[in-house]
Amino acid sequence: MGKCCKCNSRLLCMCLLPCMMTGHLLVYILVSIFVAITYTPPKISVHYVAPGTSANSSVLASHPLHPFWNLRLEDSALWNQMQHALDRRHNPILTGNTSGILRNPKRKRVSKIKDGCFPDCMAQCSFPHVNGFDGFPDQMKAFVRSMHCREYPSLISQPGLCRKNNSSLDLDSPMLVMAIKSQVGNFENRQAIRETWGRSGLVKGESNKKGGLVRTVFLLGRQDSSTGPHPDLKNLLQLENQRFGDILQWDFRDTFFNLTLKDLLFWQWFQKYCPKATFVFKGDDDVFVRTGALLDYLNKQWDEHKLWRAYTNETEMNLFVGDVINNAMPNREPSTKYYIPGGFYKGAYPAYAGGGGVVYSGSLALRLKRVSERVHLFPIDDVYLGMCLHRLGLSPSHHPGFLTFDLPEGDRGKPCAYKSVLLVHRRTPNEMLTLWRWLQNLPDHC
């Protein structure tokens, strides 16, 4: 009797346990579905849109008044919320056609988006309310206050840089435009670059002699007076520009979190004055580039693209190379300059090419410009480029020759170690000149 009871209860256990577990799971699922359905999302209060987006609030389609599924935006961060609103404005399913759903008079529009912040955007727009704004560091506050502004007057421009000569309006098509982010005070860096890797003109390749036409410009903002008074270098800059004609300057504070503006404004300039250039290098003024080797690489890519194009009619070239960083998370350490508070951005970064420098095709530059109108400014420029690429459905390619984090300590003084390098970070002006001399006559044994 006792034995049978034991075996019965074991059988019972084996039968009942899975049933009970499935039952619990079912209850759990039902409850969570119920919670999700009854949940209504908070109104997103975004007071402005980036200028440049099609500013037509009447085009905004009525989105479902009740959530289709969980849209818990209240616990996401400012940038994510704003981007979400912008995405919804441009969602072709929701907005594409005003003739359909919008006609329905019963539907009222829910989202309030104030348009037309530009041109007086600083004065007119209230910046959005953010939880924890008071706890943001100063540079983050300054960024949030001005992040809806992306048009700044040009102070120095180079409309003729890509023209064949003075008298004609014909555009030349440089092989490579080098856009180097610099600051007003960094004259020495710019001069070292002009004398070495950033020389404008016809540049030979290293192995095959094909090379190409290179044009260099330096991207500058206005000296940042918030860090203290600066000596007035305006006249010096004017002189420098008269002599070299390679400065692009805009009227915004040249701070770390404003670097993204340089990309945007450069793309505008590029589209207007140099749209036929085949490739763009974008980098900092403290890197060293082996321009000849880079041209070899680009010529090879270009030849492959032409071959590919002949077979597929694919006209757009999607090259974007650099030192790619995958699955990076925002820096949450308040003492660093890269600090991004959780109240501003949540989630991982898309794949992006790190600092120092990247190369992309001219056709991609034009598309990046277009798509950037639909991506809210982000304080870290490399990440912003990654976001724009992501929107285009592309991802950056990694090239081992881009050494954003430099060579191993022991190799830095050996010329041969630079044989396979395309870009190395970071070098002082003196080091640039030394390196350049080394590389002109690399020993054969390398």
We find the least distance from the C-beta atom of residue 168 to ligand NAG, in angstroms, to be: 3
> CA 103 → CA 54, 55, 91, distances in Å?
20, 19, 18
Q: Give strand pairing partners of 215.
A: 177
Among 38, 104, 168, 235, interactor with ligand NAG by CB under 6 A? 168
Strand partners, 320: 360
Task: With CB under 6 A as the rule, give the number of residues binding ligand NAG.
Answer: 24
Pairing mode, strands 287-289 and 423-425: antiparallel
Give the nearest distance from C-beta 82 to ligand NAG in angstroms.
16
How crowded is residue 80: how many other Cβ atoms within 10 Å of its Cβ?
16
Binding part of the chain for ligand NAG, among 125-133, 252-260, 281-289, 360-368 by CB under 6 A, reads 252-260
Should residue 163 be labelled a site residue for ligand NAG when binding is judged by CB under 6 A?
Answer: no
Length of the chain (residues): 446
Q: Which of residues 287-326 bind ligand NAG (CB under 6 A)?
A: 313
- Give the shortest CB-427-to-ligand NAG separation in angstroms: 27
Minimal CA–CA distance to 173: which of 309, 422, 363, 359?
363
Residue 320 CB, nearest distance to ligand NAG (Å)?
Answer: 25
94-123 positions binding ligand NAG, by CB under 6 A? 96-100
Least distance from ligand NAG to the Cβ atom of residue 59, Å: 5
Applying CB under 6 A, among 104, 166, 235, 327 the residue interacting with ligand NAG is 166
**What strands, in cross-sheet order, belong to the sheet with 402-403?**
287-289, 423-425, 402-403
User: What DSSP string describes 151-167?
Assistant: ---EEE--TTTTBSSTT
Three-class SS of residue 176?
A: strand
156 binds ligand NAG (CB under 6 A): no
CA nearest neighbour of 114 among 65, 53, 67, 71: 53
Residues 41-80 that bind ligand NAG (CB under 6 A): 54, 56, 58-59
The smaller minimum CB distance to ligand NAG, of residues 220 and 289, is found at 220
Among 173, 255, 268, 318, binds ligand NAG (CB under 6 A): 255
Cβ-based nearer residue to ligand NAG, 222 or 399:
222
Task: Give the nearer residue to ligand NAG in terms of CB position, either 136 or 352.
Answer: 136
**Residue 99 vs 335, nearer CB to ligand NAG:** 99
Measured from the CB atom, the residue of 89 and 427 that comes closer to ligand NAG is 89
Region 131-150 residues binding ligand NAG, contact defined as CB under 6 A? 139, 142-143, 146
Pairing of strands 402-403, 423-425: parallel
Tell me how far, at minimum, the Cβ of 437 lies from ligand NAG, in Å.
Answer: 31
At 415, list the tokens. 């010329």
Q: What sign does the dihedral 431-435-436-437 (CA atoms) show?
A: positive
The answer to whether the CB of 142 falls within 8 A of the CB of 97 is: no
Neighbours of 157 (CB within 10 A): 16
The residues of the shown chain that bind ligand NAG, judged by CB under 6 A, are 54, 56, 58-59, 96-100, 139, 142-143, 146, 164-168, 252-253, 255, 257-258, 313
